[in-house]
Amino acid sequence: MHFASDNAGPAHPKVMDALIEANSGYAMGYGADRYMDEVRDRMRALLEAPDATVYLTATGTSANVLALASVCQPFQTVFCTPVAHINVDECNAPEFYTGGAKLTLVGEGDVMTPNALRQSIDAEGTRGVHGPARGPVSLSNVTERGNVYTAQQVTDLCSVAHSYDLPVHLDGARFANAVVATESTPAEMSWKAGVDVLVFGGTKNGLMGVEAVIFFNPDHAASFEHRRKRGGHLFSKHRFLSAQMAAYLRDDLWRDLATQANANMARLAKGLQASNQVSFTTGAFPDANMLYFDAPRAVHRHALENGATYYIEAGRIDGSDPDEILTGRLVTDWSQTDQQIDEFIGLISQKQS
Amino acid sequence: MHFASDNAGPAHPKVMDALIEANSGYAMGYGADRYMDEVRDRMRALLEAPDATVYLTATGTSANVLALASVCQPFQTVFCTPVAHINVDECNAPEFYTGGAKLTLVGEGDVMTPNALRQSIDAEGTRGVHGPARGPVSLSNVTERGNVYTAQQVTDLCSVAHSYDLPVHLDGARFANAVVATESTPAEMSWKAGVDVLVFGGTKNGLMGVEAVIFFNPDHAASFEHRRKRGGHLFSKHRFLSAQMAAYLRDDLWRDLATQANANMARLAKGLQASNQVSFTTGAFPDANMLYFDAPRAVHRHALENGATYYIEAGRIDGSDPDEILTGRLVTDWSQTDQQIDEFIGLISQKQS
Amino acid sequence: MHFASDNAGPAHPKVMDALIEANSGYAMGYGADRYMDEVRDRMRALLEAPDATVYLTATGTSANVLALASVCQPFQTVFCTPVAHINVDECNAPEFYTGGAKLTLVGEGDVMTPNALRQSIDAEGTRGVHGPARGPVSLSNVTERGNVYTAQQVTDLCSVAHSYDLPVHLDGARFANAVVATESTPAEMSWKAGVDVLVFGGTKNGLMGVEAVIFFNPDHAASFEHRRKRGGHLFSKHRFLSAQMAAYLRDDLWRDLATQANANMARLAKGLQASNQVSFTTGAFPDANMLYFDAPRAVHRHALENGATYYIEAGRIDGSDPDEILTGRLVTDWSQTDQQIDEFIGLISQKQS
Amino acid sequence: MHFASDNAGPAHPKVMDALIEANSGYAMGYGADRYMDEVRDRMRALLEAPDATVYLTATGTSANVLALASVCQPFQTVFCTPVAHINVDECNAPEFYTGGAKLTLVGEGDVMTPNALRQSIDAEGTRGVHGPARGPVSLSNVTERGNVYTAQQVTDLCSVAHSYDLPVHLDGARFANAVVATESTPAEMSWKAGVDVLVFGGTKNGLMGVEAVIFFNPDHAASFEHRRKRGGHLFSKHRFLSAQMAAYLRDDLWRDLATQANANMARLAKGLQASNQVSFTTGAFPDANMLYFDAPRAVHRHALENGATYYIEAGRIDGSDPDEILTGRLVTDWSQTDQQIDEFIGLISQKQS
């Protein structure tokens, strides 16, 4: 019953098979391997973007900040939500890679609205050289609280950004989950909506550790390779990244895994809803693979003490009042079984707070 | 009727005299001049801190960010208010000089409270290496909205910071005005309150362009000289900085000028209050030399069109509704005459909105 | 006949087996996996350093620059040879990660001598704040030209560094090869010689992509975890790094692979020597797994056109004079067969220039 | 007898007068003062460059590194001589402001040759993303050893740079002295020769502390204002910089002061030559205002003990052998009198080593 994160599960067997196959004989390093050629072709086809520039890195943070640094000057500011991964979970990596850019926090929660974005951009344009210049807009889809923007919503946000000539970065650590949840195509959810640089995540969706960075505007990509190298993110044995991503793109594996992850969450959320023990923090039924929910401490404790694993807001589980409401986070990936999910629902349901 | 900023007025005649006197013959460069010896002695005596380390720079931003960088690691975050000069008026200089540290914004306005500070620090300690580590606390006194912390209030804030082992930086661009306003001593308002590194401003209080950076803990000062040089802030003809600061410290010139600036504001505010045309945004009567006030657009326009100079929230003066309330900012220094002040009060008073 | 680099060959089967074994069920991310516990224990035992701090990264550049940044201030300079990997093959990554430190190039070639090091350090101490402050000394063993320092030579260089209170970083991308070549122990070649922070490479010696960074002084390690995260080098599915390194340390796999790589080079070099067609650029018979050699263009061309792969000084192979002497670089790893080696020797031998 | 540096003398009286005149009433800050309008007009006229962009900073290091950062990416390398001020006297400021660029040292001494430059550029283009990308070429005229490039020589160097599409920065801390020495025009010595961004120094030639940064290509200037602000180099009371530079440009004061400085050196060098006690290190008779010369320790000691001030290679004066040859550096500015110069010549001449 492991719902702590979609980066805690195993890599998919097809990915392991691809690694084993790739581990044969010699291959030129640093991206000059034949699997990277396959990745490039498949990614362009999938995204309906024959001129896209495609690179790989091994971590989500590196993918995000290399993408951002490619479209941001050190004296600019990046527009993102307060809970954006780049703001709260990358330990100043955006500031580091951009050479000191600032993050301007838009709105209050995880979902950015066009109005809030416009207000923030306007507010950053009033101080001349005393404040930062306006820089890229960074969106996350799926958001860090499990919400999903539709392609239309992404389009609306990109329109605001572009009306100020600002580029848009999409942190797609769970891009596959968002595409599946909205029944859109990868193209509709990225460049057709106005996204300039996309991080198409693989690590949280069944790979060992590979993310693709895709630039739809070749000018934006000009400095990426040097930036990746000087960040220490260019792999000598690059074939082992390429092989994972190639497997991910073959036969729509990315889609199958995200579909399964989302389905696992749907089953989980439906069961929890029926339990009458919890309420969904973000209000709506989860469309993708992440859920924040409120439940009494006693309910959480019962689950955690009986084999479930997931995160509670830091340090809160130890309080004494069994009725105090705490927020838990559940994440699914392709690997949970129906039995595990149902067992967890059972744990939550049976406990009378 | 110039109330745009305390950096728009002239340098005090005594400062010019000191420059002329210093401009004679040869002097060793880079801080090895005899005026710097005088500065060091006088500053230590004034601050009752015989072991303090004293440096000069020529701009407020450089003083702040060199001070901060001396006590902040690139993977840390600085705690400051949302309107702190380091957040809104230094164009990412803190991020640049610290090598990429982040700013965590405490509370809503210009005045930080111990509770808000504690909450912010607590919140930054929950994400391990995923979030930034906790770094220095940065206060401004006078604040950027014209409020003044008492020495006791500074003490309370420093106590919170030190309870987490965090150093405290005080942006004292208007330190003299704060000391005068609170009838405290420079020592009470700095190290006795717990301040670790102080920027003692001169530029806004009658100098051409000199700020002192004072470290009360020699360990914090260890890297300053190299940082100043690599920031391009070490002056070859350093005597011209020293001479200004020496004049500032002789015969309490700093105090006389701040006293005059504060008195000018008191006269101005009293007159405005009596006009019944304005309200003071920050609520209280200004203790120091800065005032934010609300008045109808017509009132502002009348004043600005008849020779007054001051800032209105960006771009707002051009609106059409004469009754719309706009916020203006007034700043005094030592150089306004009673006549100019009274003339401005007259302009504001006579206009019926 | 692939001698281009020791990062072009496959990962060792035992490493693949370890990955497959690790890919089972759930594991806490970011280094909290059980394989990392094993790595820590085994590494400390191997290095006879029970208090050493052990971290993993996935690339050699990231390991080097995170290690350096941990012991270097932005206003310092790093002492290394002109051909050091950190100078010529990391695209400014050291400058980036240290926040702008400089590299001072010691001597002329790949082997640093104590005298040259002392001269360089002395020369960097004459300009006060105008020049950089002295920072860490960085050695590479095996060097970038295939030479090997004995433990005594490393000791002598560390003694010079320590006499100036400077820490020593050892770039051990081929540390295993150096240890095997000198018949020393890992401890003798690192902390017993005075090394403060060691990069113990795995990628060039049979892993997919893992390097260990080991600090022998815990003070030096204090900032590493935050630096690794903000560099984007902390892996969520960290178990896949740990599993590789654990396999590397079990049953002395690291030693077996390096022994084989060195033996392959010995066979290769002996054969080349006998051919009378080449001369060894670095003079001596190669102790480890890398060789620079001079041969006429026609000899190189014959080899390259008949299936051999290795590097020639950039762009030179296309010249017209068949007798012009060009320098080639050969690197072996554990994976070449005797047959491949002998075939290559045959190619070189048979060609009359 | 002060020949330590041209930054040790006083500011010229006309400069002080201009400061006093500027210190009257109120002036908009941050460069919006009327003296800056005058500076812009006069500088464009002087340089015959009506579209040039002109900025001021207060130190030579800040001018150089802000200029460089405007035309250099963090993953590039700057080509300069080993003794360039940016390499040896700016404490990593170029690395800091460029965000981590490297310096590639061209040739051996202070004078760059087209061939050496071409070789260095070629050598930096062979490693793809593993090495830095090629960045700007930085020249100093007068050089740091007192040599002067003719306009033709600058043209030849710029031609090499431009043939690789690299921009050229000219560190003109002593630009006026170079122009006077070569009887060229400022235009011939800058943009007509191919210089893209010029630092036109004032501090070493009679100002208190002001340097002009002039971009001849407006694209290069695009980020300067934000970079200057985030570097802490934008002066609130900017009129005090503008006023100095305006005085410098009025009535060719810059030329008169440089002419006098060069003449002072000519008198000094002629006298030293006649003394038969010294030899000129750089070989030729000095064209500008700086001289490196060799003399026995006893000769140096005699001069220094009798009132002369100048630099000897660090720490060397204390040795015991009176006959050992040491290198001294002499610099003149506009302020030395013939009497002081002759007295110094006398000191050198009278001592029998």
CB contact under 8 A, A230 and D100: yes
Q: What is the pLDDT of residue D314?
A: 67
At residue B101 the predicted structure's pLDDT band, cuts being 50, 70 and 90, is: very high
Q: Which residues of C touch B99 (CB under 8 A)?
A: 74, 99-100
- Closest Cβ opposite residue B8 in set D19, D26, D58: D26
Q: What distance in Å separates the CA atoms of residue D285 and residue D273, rounded to the nearest whole number?
A: 9
* Start-end of H helices in chain A: 13-22, 34-46, 60-70, 85-88, 93-97, 114-123, 151-163, 175-182, 218-221, 224-230, 239-249, 253-275, 297-305, 338-350
Chain A: residue nearest D128 by CA?
A226
Contact B225, B242 (CB under 8 A): no
The enclosing H or E element of C98 equals: helix C93-98
Residue pairs spanning B and C at CB distance below 8 A: 41
Q: What are residue D211's DSSP bridge partners?
A: D57, D201
Question: Residues of chain C with pLDDT > 70: what percent?
Answer: 98
Q: Which residues of A touch B132 (CB under 8 A)?
A: 91-92
Closest CA to C66 of C222, C176, C205: C222
Q: Which residues of D touch B97 (CB under 8 A)?
A: 232
Chain A: residue nearest B77 by CA?
A92
- Closest Cβ opposite residue C230 in set A16, A19, A96: A96
CB contact under 8 A, D100 and C96: yes
Write phi, then psi, for B142 (nearest 5 degrees): -55, 150
Cis before residue A142, ω within 30 degrees of 0?
yes
Q: What distance in Å separates the CA atoms of residue A276 and residue C205, rounded to the nearest whole number?
A: 56
pLDDT in tens, B32-85: 999 999 999 999 999 999 999 999 999 999 999 999 999 999 999 999 999 999
CB contact under 8 A, D93 and B20: no
SS percent in chain D: helix, strand, coil, step 5: 45, 15, 40
Task: Give yes or no for residue D315 having a pLDDT over 80.
Answer: no
Question: Residues of chain D with pLDDT > 70: what percent?
Answer: 98
Q: What distance in Å separates the CA atoms of residue A148 and residue B70, rounded to the nearest whole number?
A: 43
Q: What is the pLDDT of residue D107?
A: 96
Tell me the average pLDDT of chain D. Answer: 95
Min CA distance, D86 vs chain B (Å)? 10
Question: Residues of chain A with pLDDT > 90: what percent?
Answer: 92
Q: Please provide the DSSP assignment of C129-191 as one string.
A: GGSPEEEEEEEESS-TTS----HHHHHHHHHHHHHTT--EEEEETTHHHHHHHHT--TTTTTG
Q: What distance in Å separates the CA atoms of residue C342 and residue D160, rounded to the nearest whole number?
A: 47
Task: Give yes or no for residue D342 having a pLDDT over 70.
Answer: yes
Q: What is the pLDDT of residue A161?
A: 98
Contact C203, A232 (CB under 8 A): no
Chain A: residue nearest B101 by CA?
A92
Handedness of CA C214, C217, C222, C227 (dihedral sign): negative
Chains that touch D (3 or more CB pairs under 8 A): A, B, C
With 0-12 / 13-18 / 19 or more C-beta atoms within 10 angstroms meaning exposed / middle / buried, residue D282 is middle
pLDDT in tens, B114-166: 999 999 999 998 889 999 999 999 999 999 999 999 999 999 999 999 999 99
Task: Give yes or no for residue D26 having a pLDDT over 70.
Answer: yes
CB contact under 8 A, D133 and A226: yes
Q: What distance in Å separates the CA atoms of residue B232 and residue D91, rounded to the nearest whole number?
A: 9
Task: Give yes or no for residue B352 having a pLDDT over 80.
Answer: no
> What's the angle, vertex CA B291, arms to CA B287 and CA B294, rounded to 5?
135
Task: Give yes or no for residue B353 having a pLDDT over 60.
Answer: no
Contact C186, C47 (CB under 8 A): yes
CB contact under 8 A, C230 and B100: yes
CB contact under 8 A, D92 and C101: yes
Best residue in B72, B76, B229 for a mutation probing chain C (most C CBs within 10 Å) = B229
What one-character DSSP code corresponds to residue C278?
-
Closest CA to C288 of C263, C252, C268: C263
Strands A311-312 and A325-331: antiparallel
Q: What is the pLDDT of residue B227?
A: 98
Q: What distance in Å separates the CA atoms of residue C30 and residue C310, rounded to the nearest whole number?
A: 37
At residue D259 the predicted structure's pLDDT band, cuts being 50, 70 and 90, is: very high
Closest CA to A310 of A320, A318, A300: A300
Best residue in B70, B129, B233 for a mutation probing chain C (most C CBs within 10 Å) = B129
Chain C: residue nearest B226 by CA?
C129
CB contact under 8 A, A132 and B96: no
CB contact under 8 A, B95 and A90: no
Residues of chain A under the 70 pLDDT cut: 283, 314-315, 351-353
Residues whose CB falls within 8 Å of the CB of residue C252, separated by 6 or more in sequence, listed in order: none
Chains that touch C (3 or more CB pairs under 8 A): A, B, D
Contact D104, D81 (CB under 8 A): no
Q: What is the pLDDT of residue B350?
A: 84
CB contact under 8 A, A5 and C29: yes
Q: What distance in Å separates the CA atoms of residue B114 and residue B117, rounded to the nearest whole number?
A: 5
Closest CA to A53 of A182, A199, A214: A214
CB contact under 8 A, C100 and D103: no
Min CA distance, C201 vs chain D (Å)? 18
Q: What is the pLDDT of residue C352?
A: 58
Min CA distance, C8 vs chain A (Å)? 5
Chain C: residue nearest B228 by CA?
C129
- Closest Cβ opposite residue D88 in set C101, C127, C129: C127
CB contact under 8 A, B314 and A88: no
Strand, helix or coil for residue D135: strand
Using the structure block, give the residue that is written with the tokens 């008073």. B349
Put simply, whether the predicted model's pTM sits higher than 0.90 gets the answer yes
Closest CA to A136 of A173, A107, A94: A94
Q: What is the pLDDT of residue A138?
A: 98
Q: What distance in Å separates the CA atoms of residue C156 and residue C151, rounded to the nearest whole number?
A: 9
Task: Give yes or no for residue C281 having a pLDDT over 90.
Answer: no
Chain C residues whose C-beta sits inside 8 Å of any chain B C-beta: 30, 73-75, 99-100, 129-130, 132-133, 223, 225-230, 234
Q: What distance in Å separates the CA atoms of residue D185 and residue D198, rounded to the nearest whole number?
A: 14
CB contact under 8 A, D91 and B62: no
Residues whose CB falls within 8 Å of the CB of residue B239, separated by 6 or more in sequence, listed in order: B22, B27, B29, B33, B35, B36
Using the structure block, give the residue that is written with the tokens 């060229």. D184
Lowest mean pLDDT among A180-184, B176-180, B191-195, C298-302: C298-302
CB contact under 8 A, C75 and B30: no
Min CA distance, C30 vs chain B (Å)? 10
- Closest Cβ opposite residue C230 in set A19, A25, A91: A91
The enclosing H or E element of B213 equals: strand B211-215
* C-alpha count within 13 angstroms, C-beta hemisphere, residue B138: 33
Residue pairs spanning C and D at CB distance below 8 A: 66
Strand, helix or coil for residue A238: coil
At residue D318 the predicted structure's pLDDT band, cuts being 50, 70 and 90, is: confident
Min CA distance, A265 vs chain B (Å)? 25
CB contact under 8 A, D223 and A75: yes
Q: What is the pLDDT of residue D126?
A: 83
Chain B: residue nearest D17 by CA?
B20
Q: Which two tokens stand for residue C57?
A: 């990264």
Residues whose CB falls within 8 Å of the CB of residue B252, separated by 6 or more in sequence, listed in order: none
What is the average per-residue pLDDT within D234-248? 98
Best residue in C28, C75, C234 for a mutation probing chain B (most B CBs within 10 Å) = C75
Q: Which residues of A touch C204 (CB under 8 A)?
A: 236
CB contact under 8 A, B232 and D62: yes
Q: What distance in Å separates the CA atoms of residue D198 and residue D196, rounded to the nearest whole number?
A: 7
What is the average per-residue pLDDT within C241-256? 98
Q: Which residues of A touch D221 (CB under 8 A)?
A: none
Chain D: residue nearest B205 by CA?
D237
Closest CA to B34 of B48, B22, B49: B22
Write phi, then psi, for A134 (nearest 5 degrees): -75, 135
Q: What distance in Å separates the CA atoms of residue C180 and residue C261, rounded to the nearest whole number?
A: 10
Q: What distance in Å separates the CA atoms of residue D282 and residue B102, rounded to the nearest whole number?
A: 49
pLDDT in tens, C66-109: 999 999 999 999 999 999 999 999 999 999 999 999 999 999 99
At residue D313 the predicted structure's pLDDT band, cuts being 50, 70 and 90, is: confident
Q: What is the pLDDT of residue A352?
A: 58
Q: How far apart are the first and last CA of chain A?
A: 21
Min CA distance, A114 vs chain C (Å)? 30
Closest CA to B108 of B75, B145, B161, B149: B145
Best residue in B95, B134, B318, B327 for a mutation probing chain A (most A CBs within 10 Å) = B95
With 0-12 / 13-18 / 19 or more C-beta atoms within 10 angstroms meaning exposed / middle / buried, residue C263 is middle
Min CA distance, B156 vs chain D (Å)? 30
CB contact under 8 A, B225 and C129: yes
Handedness of CA B251, B257, B258, B264 (dihedral sign): positive
- Closest Cβ opposite residue A99 in set D99, D132, D133: D99
Residue pairs spanning B and D at CB distance below 8 A: 148
Chain B residues whose C-beta sits inside 8 Å of any chain A C-beta: 74-77, 88-92, 95-96, 99-103, 126-127, 129-132, 314-315
Min CA distance, C225 vs chain B (Å)? 7
SS percent in chain A: helix, strand, coil, step 5: 45, 15, 40
Tell me the average pLDDT of chain B. Answer: 95
Closest CA to A44 of A58, A54, A32, A34: A54
Q: What is the pLDDT of residue C314?
A: 67
Strand, helix or coil for residue D2: strand
Residues whose CB falls within 8 Å of the CB of residue D122, separated by 6 or more in sequence, listed in order: none
Contact B75, B49 (CB under 8 A): no
Cβ neighbour number for residue C117 with a 10 Å cutoff: 26
Lowest mean pLDDT among A136-145, A309-318, C115-124, D159-168: A309-318
What one-character DSSP code corresponds to residue D331?
E
Chains that touch A (3 or more CB pairs under 8 A): B, C, D
Q: What is the pLDDT of residue A92?
A: 98
Q: What is the ipTM of this complex?
A: 0.96
Using the structure block, give the residue that is written with the tokens 């002789």. B250
